[in-house]
Amino acid sequence: MLRKMISAAALAITLAAGTQADAAGGDAKVRVVFDQKLPNVPGKSMKGVLVEYAPGGSSPGHTHPASAFIYATVLEGAITSKVNDGPEKVYKAGESFPEFPGDHHAVSKNASKTKPARLLAVFVLDTDEKELTIDDK
């Protein structure tokens, strides 16, 4: 079931123009591709964010709003990620990882210098949150 939902989301992303999000620094292209209030959880929304990295591309270290739970799925290529004090790990297309409220995403980059990479980050967060990514200072 989850695989079908991810496939449907990936297809929707491919077809949707999306709206440009406040892109994190670095050279990632970041777009909100869906934003849906959760009808059974007042005050909460689900937002899908497509992050596209050119070969060798990256995002700076960052956090997300305190209300945000995130589940990221690599759609294409491979992404190197490091959350909190955990090790750097490479996730390949079809693999996923969570980010919990308060986590620090220290590393997020394309694992390849020659091929592009894309991931879909699905946020569940307070509906009134506008800034999805807070770059390290």
Query: In 3D, which of 130, 137, 136, 117 has the Cα closest to residue 22?
Result: 130
Q: Which two tokens stand for residue 25?
A: 């620094």
Residue 19: is its pLDDT beyond 90?
no
Q: Which two tokens stand for residue 10?
A: 């990936």
pTM: 0.79
The answer to whether domain 29-132 has CATH 2.60.120.10 is: yes
Rounded distance between C-alpha atoms, residue 55 and residue 77, angstroms: 10
Q: What is the pLDDT of residues 55-112, one digit of tens each?
A: 999 999 999 999 999 999 999 999 999 999 999 999 999 999 999 999 999 999 999 9
User: Is 95 buried (19+), middle (13-18) or exposed (0-12) by CB count in 10 A?
Assistant: middle
What is the residue extent of each domain of the chain? 29-132
